[in-house]
Amino acid sequence: MIFEVANGCFGYGSGNEILRNLNFRVPEGKILSVLGPNGVGKTTLLRCMMGLLHWRKGESRIDGKNIHHIPVRELWKRIAYVPQAKGNALMYTAEEMVVLGRCAHLGMMQQPKKKDLELAREAIEMVGVSRLCGKLCSQMSGGELQMILIARALTTQPSMLVLDEPESNLDFKNQLIILDIIQRLAAEQGISCVFNTHYPDHALKISNQALLLDKSGRYIFGESADVINCENMERSFEVEVYIDHLDVGGASIASVVPLSIL
Ligand SMILES: Nc1ncnc2c1ncn2[C@@H]1O[C@H](COP(=O)(O)OP(=O)(O)OP(=O)(O)O)[C@@H](O)[C@H]1O
């Protein structure tokens, strides 16, 4: 599946445009990271991309087709969204919450079948949180709920996974688990992934492409290593940035360090 935004413009209500003339494409099996300062419009961008908010101008396309011309159920079979883990801790157990990922695949009033439950359990195992199966989401920590929401998205078996700051709330190990899952889904199953992040190191580690927003409404889109450089990061975040590459066991790992406020 090829996902595309053509001339996307958005502002809330009658307010100023916060996203202006966005043009980018996510090819099948590629990973796009979205970066930018707090409040610049990253979550808004994800929501516009998926049609949860309407572009003022422009459109989102899947394989060349405006997503608003795709039936809703069909769309949510193809896209799975992991919102930030806050405010949606309903009275479901972890397992029930993850099975909800199968909703778009079930008919009206249809109960999940054995296969749906198996897929849910596989996803729970994949993210390594089987111990949480019977626990109520309302009684989970932010990080635990985040892992469950990611499992729910995997249960959908989407063509594209959209994640809003998937590593926030997570400890080092769980951050690596999630980054590894995203990389494997893309490489092994051709699933495209788009994720917002405040960790440029993570973007450089796993994303093929990056989209960097700044508060003036400008953006830079391209290969991650070209976009996430000192000059662009300094202009977007208004901080002095140092980028180093650590040689660890023959692998080069990028480290992006904020030095001082400009
Ligand atoms: N429903 C809304 N109505 C009006 N303005 C909104 C609404 N939701 C968000 N905004 C504003 O739009 C701007 C972009 O918000 P958004 O949540 O997309 O930013 P973000 O880049 O994801 O931020 P963060 O990094 O802090 O999560 C912010 O100024 C925010 O206050």
User: What domains can you pick out in the chain, each with its CATH number?
Assistant: 3-261 (3.40.50.300)
Is residue 18 lining ligand 1, measured as CB closer than 6 Å?
yes
CA distance 204 to 228: 7
pLDDT at residue 168 in the model: 86
Phi, psi of 164 (to 5 degrees): -95, 105
Give 121 Cα–ligand 1 centroid separation in angstroms: 34
CA distance 18 to 239: 21
The radius of gyration computed from the CA coordinates of the chain, to the nearest angstrom, equals 19
Ligand 1 atom with the smallest distance to the CA of 45 is 18
pLDDT at residue 86 in the model: 72
Give 212 Cα–ligand 1 centroid separation in angstroms: 16
pLDDT at residue 160 in the model: 97
Predicted structure pTM score = 0.95
Q: To test ligand 1's pocket by mutation, which of 43, 54, 81, 237 has the most ligand atoms within 8 angstroms of CB?
A: 43
Ligand 1 atom with the smallest distance to the CA of 47 is 18
ipTM: 0.99
Residue 4 is classified by DSSP as E
Give 143 Cα–ligand 1 centroid separation in angstroms: 22
- Residues 217-250 as b/e (b if ≥16 CB within 10 A, e otherwise) read bebbbeebeebbeeebbeebbeeebebeeeeeee
Residues of the chain below pLDDT 50: none
Is residue 42 lining ligand 1, measured as CB closer than 6 Å?
yes
pLDDT at residue 107 in the model: 77
